[in-house]
Amino acid sequence: MTSPPAGWYPDPQGLGQRFWDGTGWTDQVRPGGSRPPEEPVLREPVVAWSLTAGAITYVALLVLLGPLLEGGGAYLAGRLSVPAAVGVGVMVLVGRTSSRPLGWWVYALGVPASAFALAVAISSSELVEAARVSAGTDGSSSSSLPELTLPTDGGGWTVLDSRRARTQARRITDAMEAEFAGRGVGPIVGSFYAHADAATTSVLFVGVNGDIDPGISPEQNLTNFLAGAKVEEPERFDPGDVGGVLGCGEGSGQGLEWVSCAWATDSRIVALRWDDRSVTVDAAAELTRDLRDRALAGRTSG
C-alpha cells in the first residue's frame, strides 16, 4: 500500500489538521477549516553534512597532498586543516541561504571541491616542484652524471689563462669550498672564459659537484644561486637532455650590469656570469648548456 502524498490531513487526535510529510506525521498542526498556511520547508542537516564531508576531505588532503608538500606532520596537519575548514564554511553558508533543499550529495562534492581548490592555489609552487621531481625534470635522477671538470679551448670558448683570472677564479672556488665544508660537496671548479659571440667579455664558470643541501630541491638551489647573483626576475629555460633546471636573467649593482645563468640538479650545479650585457638572456642560456655539456663530458677540444 502506498503512502499518501505530503500535505495537510485531519489530525488523528482530533486537533484540527496535521501535516503529513509523506512518511509520517509532523509536529505542525492547524485548526480545521482555517486558511492553509504555506507548507513548511523541510530543513536539511546542513552543519552535520558539511562537517562529515569536511572530515573526509581533511583526511583526503593529508593523504593526497601531504606527501607532496614541505614540512613536518604537525605543521602539515594544521596547514591542511585550513582549506578543509574553509570548504565546510562555504557549504554551510550555501546550504543556509539556499531557498530549497540541496541534497547530501551537493555537500559531499562541494566541500572537497572548495577545499582542494584552495589547497592547490596556496601550495601551487610546491606542487609544481613535486611534479617536476616525479617527472624527473628537476634532476632528481641525475646522480649518475659525470663529474664536472674545466673544459679547455674549443667550440668557440677560450680559457682566460692570465695570472689575474686564475687568481680570481681560485679565490671564488676556495670561498665556496669553505662555505660548503662538511656538506659532502665534491670538488668545486672554476675558471674565466671568453666566447667568440662576445670575445671581449669575460665569463666566470663555476661547477659544483655534489649536493649542497640535501634538504632543499634543485629548484631552490637554482633560485638561491640566481638570488646571490642579484638576478631579480630570472627566466626558466629548457635544461637539455641531461635534465635539471636552468634559469638566466640580468643583474646589476654598484653601477655594473651583467647576465647570469645557473643550472642545477640534485648532484651538480653550474653557474655562469657575463661581466656585461653583451649577450642576451636567451643566448646566455644556450651558451650555458653548451659549456655545461662540455664540462660534463670532459671535452678539451672541438
Task: Name the residue with higher pLDDT: 131 or 166.
Answer: 166
How confident is the model over 30-57, as a mean pLDDT? Answer: 74
From 148, 151, 152, 188, select the one nearest 172 (Cα to Cα). 188
pLDDT of residue 5: 82
> Would you say residue 37 has pLDDT above 60?
no
Task: Name the residue with higher pLDDT: 209 or 69.
Answer: 209
Task: Name the residue with higher pLDDT: 76 or 57.
Answer: 57
Q: Which residue has the cell 541561504?
A: 97
> Would you say residue 139 has pLDDT above 50?
no
Q: What confidence category does residue 249 fall into, taking pLDDT thresholds of 50, 70 and 90?
A: very high
- Cβ(31)–Cβ(11) under 8 Å? no
Helix-strand-coil percent breakdown of the chain, rounded to 5? Answer: 40, 20, 35
How is residue 37 annotated by DSSP?
P
What's the pTM?
0.53
Percent of the chain with pLDDT over 90: 30
Q: Which amino acid is at 153?
A: D
The interaxial angle of helices 73-97 and 104-122, nearest 10 deg, is 140
How confident is the model over 152-156, as a mean pLDDT? Answer: 89
Q: What is the mean pLDDT of the chain?
A: 84
> Would you say residue 36 has pLDDT above 60?
no
> Would you say residue 84 has pLDDT above 60?
yes
State pLDDT tens for residues 161-194. Answer: 899 999 999 999 999 888 877 777 878 999 999 9
Where are the chain's structural domains? Answer: 1-38, 46-122, 157-297
- Cβ(244)–Cβ(263) under 8 Å? yes
